């Protein structure tokens, strides 16, 4: 059982955000599970959504210290996530690599999405 049921982000442009997450989550094995004018949900196909996006004109990301980490099935998926994210307009916040200050097996990449949310792909 997962500790968290899901996480929701408010985004300024739902179409842009949905397209961004379609691109960056694909290398990790996640996909858009539902969408309508009110929101978009992502997760593993055949399972419930774990990330939901909702349009909010007044949204702003949480402050320093907050980020969302997506599990990656292998290191190559972390690399592909990073390349896809930066190519889709994300800001680099830490290229793929081992983070020995976390653990000798912690391989991750960090980016900031177009709405300012810090996201990570990690394989341990």
Q: Residue 1 has what pLDDT? A: 59
Q: Residue 71 has what pLDDT? A: 96
Pairing of the two strands 39-43 and 49-55 = antiparallel
Look up residue 99 and give its two tokens.
Answer: 């983070």
Look up residue 26 and give its two tokens.
Answer: 């694909």
Domains of the chain: 7-123 (3.10.180.10)
Mean pLDDT by 10 residues, the chain (124 residues): 84 97 98 97 94 89 88 98 98 97 97 96 97
Helix ranges (DSSP H) in the chain: 14-25, 75-87
Handedness of CA 81, 83, 89, 93 (dihedral sign): positive
Q: What is the pTM of this model?
A: 0.94
């Amino acid at each position: 059982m997962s500790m968290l049921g899901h996480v929701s982000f408010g985004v300024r442009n739902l179409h842009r955000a949905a397209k961004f997450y379609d691109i960056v989550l694909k290398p990790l094995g996640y996909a858009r599970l539902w969408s309508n004018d009110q929101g978009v949900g992502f997760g593993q196909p055949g399972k419930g959504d774990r990330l939901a996006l909702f349009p909010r004109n007044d949204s702003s990301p949480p402050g320093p210290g907050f980020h969302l980490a997506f599990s990656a099935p292998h290191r190559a998926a972390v690399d592909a996530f990073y390349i896809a994210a930066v190519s889709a307009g994300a800001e680099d916040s830490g290229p793929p690599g081992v983070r020995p200050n976390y653990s000798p097996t912690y391989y991750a990449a960090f980016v900031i999405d177009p709405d300012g949310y810090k996201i990570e792909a990690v394989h341990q």
